Chains A and B, each alone.
Chain A
Amino acid sequence: MDFSADVRQIDGLAVIDLHGEIMAGADDALTSGFVRATTGNTGPVLLNFADVSYINSTGIALIVGLLAEARASDRRILVSGLTDHYKDIFEITRISDFVTMCDDEESAAAAAKA
């Protein structure tokens, strides 16, 4: 399954909707989405995993790389839409320590304003 990343704005929050499987080959689309989401603004970015069916260790590495970029520019990252399994993996890898974990887009939008 291909991977794609769409970018939209909701109420000052850049949302990157991730679609498909995050694994080898997803890096260009993910990076491109992040660039589009962050160009011209310094606000928070929400990664929406609601349409992601699979993340492997390569995908985890891509997300960590993206977090490193966000950290370098002091940008806050929020995530939503993760299944329990991938929430668990984000906890195990401690990615959750560096993002704001939200159940859905609405709670993410609220958290972004907090």
Chain B
Amino acid sequence: MEREPEVTAPPAAVEPVAFELSPTDPLMHYLQQAGGPVEIDKLKLDSPGLEQMRKADVALVVPLVSQGELIGVLSLGPRLSEQQYSADDRKLLENLASTAAPALRVAQLVREEEANIQARERYQQELRIAHLIQQNFLPREQPDIAGWTLSAFYRSAREVGGDFYDFIELDNGRIGVVIGDVTDKGVPAALMMASTRSVLRSVAARFDSPGTVLEHANELLCPDMPPKMFVTCLYAILEPHSGKLVYANAGHNVPYRRRIDCVDELKARGMPLGLLPGSKYEEKDVMISPGEIVLFSSDGIAEAHSTDGEMFGCPRIIDVVTHHASSADLRNEVLDSLHAFTGAEWDQEDDITMVVLDRLPYDASDFAASGEERLATFEIASETGNERAAMQRVVEVVEGLGIDPTRLDKLKTAVAEATMNAIEHGNHNDPDLPVTIEVTKRPRELRVAITDHGGGAQIPDETAPDIDAKLRGEQTPRGWGLFLIKNMVDDMIVTSDEVHHTVTLVFSLGGES
């Protein structure tokens, strides 16, 4: 039987001792300069590290220096033979140190890089989650509204961004439309975007006025807005049935509306959100007619640069909107133009966001579905007396509707007065500027929209005519036009933009067919 080899117990393991040397410890500097093994007993330094070593019974320290930097030390206790370290021992240790130091440095760098990679992966993972969370803040689908196509585009420059848009369902079928941009990019902007979106949603549910909504949102955001950060934001309320769009703007890019003959800017004044408590927001409204389209965009488009440093700019956006083909998707047209300008290698500088409100042109099937029917659209030259022609034309248009003579007289007066105002006050009797008149019929309502080129001007507050004052000579005898119109029709809707001014006369048809 073969005997098992005799096992000799290994020498008792020596517990390694770890020292932490402060970068300011004089021992660090000494060891860096030492150039070889150092006997602890011979050192006279006021050093906490040296004290630790002495207490741990360290006899010899071998500095590990790589490229002039102390990257570690080899600490040795007394020799087990209880003899002193010889010159050969020290030489051997010195050679060992010179070989081990670079290898140790490489190992340290590898370990640092691995830690960096892990941190980066963790960060990337967090960003991916943040991206998913942010995507959930954006509408998953656009409102489906008869006669309209509402669409949006969002692409952040980084994993997460500061741009946002929203569609908020309001009462009576109205839709709140939001587009915004938080200064800066990345996570801070994304966090502020989420906060702003929540604030706007809560305030929009309480107020019907876009200006008031922005005013309250600003008050809520101001206390918590980090320094050097703010939010530009445009909030609009769309009334799909009538096409009325009421809007206010907190310093965001101006939307563009394409009409039949021009593109106009929907301007309204207001400070960005989060900058100044107590800010007020100008409110405007326009009527979006069938076939018209409105583009809201963020500055990531206008401020994109080509390879030679030229900025895309608003005029190029306007050009795209101007030449937009009704059958095409305006978002793609803008993006195609942008990419052609920036080149294929473009590193997107900022978030890009677009919201498009497209009121579809009428066709026979639309009329049938909506119960609305356009009876006529015509223009008249802005010459005194042409209001009579407009009036007569409207009478001919509505002839088959069975409107009784008394009510027809009211309609005639209202049309004539509104047209006269358009000729005189809107177009200043300039025969080159036409007045456009559109007559539409709904199941129980007739509408006559009279549009001139008097937009952009401040509409003065109307002074109600007071015949007592007029007879006393305290008021001019004139000033009856609007008063008469209001008393002739069931409702009068006034809308205006930078170019056009429209008065829509609403005339109930009651039991008339």
Contact = CB atoms under 8 A, between A and B. Distances in A.
A93 B413 CA distance: 14
A24 B406 contact: no
B481 to A, nearest CB: 4
A67 B484 contact: no
7 contacts: A61-B480, A64-B471, A64-B477, A71-B471, A93-B484, A98-B467, A98-B471
A28 B480 CA distance: 20
B477 A56 contact: no
Interface in A46-60: 54, 56-58, 60
A61 B483 contact: no
A74 B494 CA distance: 41
Nearest to B421: A57
A26 interface: no
Given A64-B470, A64-B471, A57 B478 contact: yes
Interface in B345-404: 384, 387-388
A113 interface: no
A94 B420 contact: no
Interface string A95-106: 101100000000
B417 A56 contact: yes
B483 to A, nearest CB: 7
B487 A92 contact: yes
Given A84-B406, A89-B484, A92-B487, A58 B478 contact: yes
Interface string B410-427: 100100110010000000
Contacts of B39: none
Interface of A: 24, 54, 56-58, 60-62, 64-65, 67-68, 71, 83-85, 88-89, 92-95, 97-98
A94 B384 contact: no
The 9 A-B pairs with the shortest beta carbon distances in the complex, nearest first, are A85-B409, A57-B480, A65-B477, A61-B477, A61-B478, A64-B477, A57-B481, A94-B467, A60-B480
A38 to B, nearest CB: 17
Nearest to B408: A85
Nearest to B476: A61
B410 to A, nearest CB: 7
B291 interface: no
Nearest to B475: A64
A56 B465 contact: no
A97 B387 CA distance: 29
B388 A54 contact: yes
A61 B475 CA distance: 11
Contact of A56 (B409, B410, B416, B473): B416
A30 B417 CA distance: 21
A93 B467 contact: yes
Contacts of A64: 467, 470-471, 477
Q: How large is the interface on B (under 10, 10 to 19, 20 to 34, 35 or more residues)?
A: 20 to 34
Given A56-B387, A57-B478, A95-B467, 17 more contacts: A24-B384, A56-B413, A56-B417, A56-B420, A57-B481, A61-B476, A61-B479, A64-B470, A68-B473, A71-B471, A85-B409, A85-B413, A92-B484, A92-B487, A93-B484, A97-B467, A98-B467
Contacts of A92: 483-484, 487
Interface in B26-57: none
Given A68-B477, A85-B406, A93-B483, A57 B417 contact: yes
Interface of B: 384, 387-388, 406, 409-410, 413, 416-417, 420, 465, 467, 470-473, 476-481, 483-484, 487
A84 B413 CA distance: 13
Contacts of B480: 57, 60-61, 93
A57 B471 contact: no
Contacts of A58: 420, 478
Nearest to B486: A92
Contacts of A83: 409
Contacts of A84: 406, 409
B395 to A, nearest CB: 12
Contacts of B483: 57, 92-93
Contacts of B470: 64, 68
User: Among B471, B472, B481, which residue has the most Cβ atoms of chain A within 10 A?
Assistant: B471
Contacts of B476: 61
Nearest to B478: A61
A67 B481 CA distance: 19
Contacts of A98: 467, 471
Contacts of A54: 388
Nearest to B485: A57
Given A58-B478, A60-B480, A89 B413 contact: yes
User: Among A24, A57, A62, A98, which residue has the most Cβ atoms of chain B within 10 A?
Assistant: A57
A72 to B, nearest CB: 8
Nearest to B480: A57
Contacts of B471: 64, 67-68, 71, 98
Contacts of A56: 387, 413, 416-417, 420
A70 to B, nearest CB: 9
Contact of A93 (B409, B420, B465): B465
Contacts of B417: 56-57
A54 B385 CA distance: 12
Nearest to A86: B409
